[in-house]
Structure 1
Amino acid sequence: MRKIITAALAAATMAAPALAAPAAPPKLVIAISVDQFSADLFDEYRAAFSGGLARMASGAAYRNGWQGHAATETCPGHSTILTGDRPARTGIIANTWFDQSQARSDKAVYCAEDERVPGSSSSSYTVSPLHLRVPTLGERLQLASPQSRSVAVAGKDRAAVMMGGHKLDQRWYWDGKKYVTDLAGVRVPTAATATNAAVTRLISAPGEPLESPDLCRAKAKAIAVGSDGKTVGAGAFARVAGDAKSFRASPAFDGATLALAAGLIGEMKLGQGSATDLIAIGASATDYVGHTYGTEGQEMCLQLLSLDRDLGDFFALLDRQKIDYAVVLTADHGGNDLPEREQLAGVAGAARVDPALFPGTAGKAIAVKLRLGGPVLVGDSPFGDVYLDRALSPADRTRALAAAVSYYRASPQVEAVFTHAQLDRAPLPTGDPATWSLRDRARASFDDQRSGDFVVLLRRRITPIADAKTYVATHGSAWDYDRRVPILFWHAGMAAAPSNAPVETIDIAPTLAAWIGLKIARGAIDGHCVTTVPGVSCPR
């Protein structure tokens, strides 16, 4: 399986080139986001890494990186990495929000769609960076250096869009069957055609289970989930022929994305021109594995060790091409294990969410109590942004808001509820995100135009999935297991600089900008250059 997907990367050594870090800016900047790669997982497996993740950990390694905001989802998290801004400024408050002024019947808005296109919906959409309100590093680079190229490749469209931005040379992402682009008029690279052909062949054949090393076998314990006999925890990614969904939730998915990225680097000769180039890579399989199997079973162990190997092969290929590249690796958010396994381990408070907290159910109860018609509440999640029905009169909206806040605050599974007005009045947080209050965390992902009439934050270890028929575990909370992520910088010759100091993902863009000599005006973004990255001279 791995040979088919990463043929261009195979048979490579992991020896990092013994070069002194040059004074000139690196010719290629590689920004990698490993979706749902929490700092907890990084800490847990760090000693077991021997490939690309080991190389990244040997540079400037910040184990206390932060996605400081409360909305720890894919779209908001990716919007911070290469913009230098929090969701409150990027405008990307969630994967999906609601706009009741929409003419279409579907009032949900997907973060990476253009709902102005006829026929677009939040589930069947036209991919677009329309909703991203700020420029990315790649856009800033190309504005200052027109010879520079900017590329994004990811397993998810929203990852590629939020890291790539509004204007770039190539953008490719998986659509469920193949890698596609939303960019009109761009030449389809041979790398995309070849990768799609290889993946099609792979998916059409059965997938044999992966060989499990001792470390992973020790985690192989089947955990019963739900009432239909479903178990997770002891799988090894065996797959029936034609099962593209299982391919997506397997290590092979990241292998394909990295193969495409490597192919584009070679075909476009990124890092080999007169100006610095940038490629953003979204490795999405860890997220799908976490959702499908949880974070503490054999499946996640196999996924991370495989990613470590594939990243090692990817870097070694660049080494052989003698490309001067710098890398940053982080995550869009962390993740929480399935509550059934946590309960067996004695984790306090681990439980699935009460279905009564979903807006549809809560809205009906409030409607009966207040003798109101209509849905009263609009939303699709038991946490995060919840909206009041715009059809209610102003007086009824006031009554419904008070009743809804009381309803949610009365639940033993709810930690806090903040109204739109409360968050609008709150100052934007600063300082160490580890010390932020819950209101600070919610404020960091609040937008006056897009956020709900109130925001619900669940208690620790409450999984907002009620039935586990599709996914068994998730993220999205305001707690540190979802907010804390690794932030790792590496360049050939860089001195090891492990650190426990707090760094935010919004600090990545200004740090990379300083590394390549790109000026960003003071105060133009939320983030700050990290002064402790060896070889980076931050502006004073």
Structure 2
Amino acid sequence: MALRTFRSVTLGAAALAAVMALPPAVLARPSAKPAPAPAAAVQPAAGAPKLIVAISIDQFSADLFAQYRSHFTGGLARLASGAVFPAGYQSHAATETCPGHSTILTGVHPARTGIIANTWIDQTVARAKKTVYCAEDEGRAAADPKDYIASVGHLLVPTLGERIKALWPASRNVAVSGKDRAALMMGGHVIDSVYWWKGAGFTSLDGRPLTPAAVNENKALGEVLAQGAPEFPLPEWCSAKARAVPLSSTFSVGTGRFALAAGDKTAFRTSPRLDRATIDLATELVDENKLGKGATPDVLSVSLSATDYVGHGYGTEGSEMCIQLQQLDLALGDFFVALDQRGIDYAVVLTADHGGFDMPERLGEQALPASHRVNKALLPEALSAAVAAKTGLDASGLVLSDGASGDIWLRRDLAPADKARALDALKAELLANPDVAAAFTADEIAAAPAGTGSPETWSLIARAKASFYKPRSGDVVLMLKRGVVPIPTPGPGFVATHGSPWDYDRRVPILFWRKGMTGFEQPSPVETVDIAPTLAALIGLPVPAGAFDGRCLDLDGGTGDTCGARP
């Protein structure tokens, strides 16, 4: 890697304001064009890469990386020759897709991004359904009541791509994913081109026409869906994992190979084909946007979603995950070769939005008999009845949540005294349940100190605080015990999950690579919020003090220092 010194730079007031924050109008309208930026007073660092490629593999835990690392021969093998941080942390407790992606290129925890979960309950919204999705504009009605208008309006802070564009307006900020929330949380409010998979093809923000790259990719994918496709071969080293695990009298998992029947959109999404399609579109977007060809750095965010869909649908330890990771490795290898062939000077970071946990039916056979499915007494209907019985309050909608863990709300029309009684009764009910590790009220979390030091040693309440944003968070945050899976009853497509405060969901790999760099491995814990300041230093992007929760990681494997002068 070319070495340089990252010097502190003093910006004029106008330029500094452009880097620090986006105009409120842009935050409110994700499709808005940015206001004209002042002339840049700062040039990129000498030797800075022309393209930053930020890759997130949804549900790619540090455990999966370690388990399969010796079998990688493609793109993941290339990245493993760079700067490897095998113990990266999504330090917060709400280990879900939207919060995790919101940390990667903002450099701050969900407590500051405002993205506390994939969904939360807002009892003030003017619609019957009070659940709000992290990447929707709940103030706008979709044509189909089952649908929504995708938006990044809930994200409270700028991303790295936005900061770059604020200082260097000619730079391009492009994002693509299998999920809207992943593309939007990594790209941010001002994205030159953004796509995600929906239904049977890639789509974009409301009102944005598809560009030729997406049109061509969708046409090719339509032909695949119409014809179907055969199963993937099972690598020899995956054979021991090909064992059926029954989950009911009607279905089992563990032996799938992703054969695609004609027209089966769900099977396409829950397979390695989704990642290959996302990577193919990313490559076409490189050409369409001329990424890496300008005078200032561009950003390409790529979030690969199939590992998450496979993990949810089949668990993490069957033939399905084994095939998925092999195919993902090969697809990433082809992507990097394509970038090489285009002569682009690029730097890559790869990480994950969260980890994952296998289904208890298989864990019980593999030396973890304590793992089990959550008690239905922790679902909101059961909690409402229990709290009502203790307080005499009306049970109807008394306790609200999106499942058997995470944020829990009390009905907002309760009088203060009634709410206090209900809160005490709810917390007592939770702590009496044998599946519960902890339950913290919003006031307790707000008063707790933020986590400091190594994220692996943070207390449970510090983990909760890192994803606590008072205007959206619940009245109580519920944490299940280690090994308790918050899916009471498995079904096709949803047998295992993530979302806990435990390290199997928090720990993810963080890999940096650039041609010519000296590789090294640092096993000490780092955080995903360290990625943005590391990349900012690499390209010479000045950022105001306090803009990041993370720290710059020195990517020089020798005596140099890619972070330069540190505050």
TM range (shorter): over 0.9
Contact conserved, 2:57 with 2:350, CA < 8 A, in 1? yes
Pairing partner for 1:196 from 199, 203, 218: 218
Aligned to 1:527: 550
Aligned to 1:14: none
Cα drift, residue 533 of structure 1: 4.5
Cα drift, residue 524 of structure 1: 1.6
The code of the aligned residue for 2:331 comes to D
Instruction: Report percent identity of matched pairs.
Output: 52
Cα drift, residue 229 of structure 1: 2.4
Judged with a 3 Å threshold, the aligned counterparts in structure 2 of structure 1 residues 313 and 149 are, in CA distance, closer, same or farther, namely same
Judged with a 3 Å threshold, the aligned counterparts in structure 2 of structure 1 residues 333 and 122 are, in CA distance, closer, same or farther, namely farther
User: 2-side partners of 1:199 and 1:80: how far apart?
Assistant: 31
The Cα offsets for residues 161-203 of structure 1, whole Å up to 9 and x where unpaired, read as 1000000100100112210010645x63221011111111111
User: 1-side partners of 2:381 and 2:533: how far apart?
Assistant: 42
Aligned to 1:47: 70
Query: Is 1:71–2:94 an aligned residue pair?
Result: yes
State which drifts further: 105-114 or 344-353: 344-353
Contact conserved, 2:149 with 2:206, CA < 8 A, in 1? no
Query: Is 1:231–2:246 an aligned residue pair?
Result: no
Cα drift, residue 120 of structure 1: 8.4
Pairing partner for 1:109 from 132, 155, 158: 132
Pairing partner for 1:305 from 326, 332, 342: 326
Pairing partner for 1:439 from 461, 465, 487: 461
The code of the aligned residue for 1:276 comes to P
State which drifts further: 41-50 or 122-131: 122-131
Listed as ranges, the gaps of 5+ residues in structure 2 are: 5-45
Aligned to 2:397: 375
The code of the aligned residue for 1:367 comes to A
Q: Secondary structure at the match of 1:271?
A: coil
Cα drift, residue 45 of structure 1: 0.5
Pairing partner for 1:257 from 278, 282, 291: 278
The Cα offsets for residues 366-397 of structure 1, whole Å up to 9 and x where unpaired, read as 21332211221011211000000112222211
User: 2-side partners of 1:40 and 1:261: how far apart?
Assistant: 27
Aligned to 2:442: 420
Listed as ranges, the gaps of 5+ residues in structure 1 are: 1-18
Q: Summarize the alignment of residues 55-134 of structure 1 with structure 2, pairs less than 5 Å apart.
A: 55-119=78-142, 124-134=147-157
Q: Secondary structure at the match of 1:344?
A: coil
User: 2-side partners of 1:54 and 1:405: how far apart?
Assistant: 47
Q: Summarize the alignment of residues 399-478 of structure 1 with structure 2, pairs less than 5 Å apart.
A: 399-470=421-492, 471-478=494-501
Q: Summarize the alignment of residues 183-332 of structure 1 with structure 2, pairs less than 5 Å apart.
A: 184-185=207-208, 188-225=210-247, 227-332=248-353
Aligned to 2:514: 491
Aligned to 1:7: none
User: 1-side partners of 2:149 and 2:74: how far apart?
Assistant: 37
User: 2-side partners of 1:342 and 1:137: how far apart?
Assistant: 39
Number of residue pairs the alignment of both structures matches:
520
Query: Is 1:536–2:552 an aligned residue pair?
Result: no
RMSD, matched Cα: 1.6
Cα drift, residue 324 of structure 1: 0.5
The code of the aligned residue for 1:364 comes to A
Pairing partner for 2:382 from 357, 361, 365: 361
Aligned to 1:12: none
User: 2-side partners of 1:69 and 1:49: how far apart?
Assistant: 29
User: 2-side partners of 1:20 and 1:113: how far apart?
Assistant: 41
Query: Is 1:146–2:169 an aligned residue pair?
Result: yes
The Cα offsets for residues 41-100 of structure 1, whole Å up to 9 and x where unpaired, read as 000011110100000111000000000000000000000000000000000000000111
Which TM-score applies when normalising by structure 2? 0.89
Cα drift, residue 123 of structure 1: 5.5
The code of the aligned residue for 1:353 comes to V
The Cα offsets for residues 399-445 of structure 1, whole Å up to 9 and x where unpaired, read as 11111101111111110000011001112212110000111111110
Judged with a 3 Å threshold, the aligned counterparts in structure 2 of structure 1 residues 119 and 248 are, in CA distance, closer, same or farther, namely closer
User: 1-side partners of 2:562 and 2:84: how far apart?
Assistant: 14
Contact conserved, 1:388 with 1:397, CA < 8 A, in 2? yes
Which TM-score applies when normalising by structure 1? 0.94
Pairing partner for 1:387 from 384, 406, 409: 409
Contact conserved, 1:35 with 1:287, CA < 8 A, in 2? yes
The Cα offsets for residues 75-130 of structure 1, whole Å up to 9 and x where unpaired, read as 00000000000000000000000111112111111001111113589962111111
State which drifts further: 363-372 or 251-260: 363-372
Q: Secondary structure at the match of 2:563?
A: coil
Query: Is 1:163–2:192 an aligned residue pair?
Result: no
User: 1-side partners of 2:133 and 2:221: how far apart?
Assistant: 27
The Cα offsets for residues 461-512 of structure 1, whole Å up to 9 and x where unpaired, read as 1111111114000000000000000000000001111110211000000100
User: 1-side partners of 2:565 and 2:123: how far apart?
Assistant: 44
User: 2-side partners of 1:537 and 1:71: how far apart?
Assistant: 30
Q: Secondary structure at the match of 1:254?
A: helix
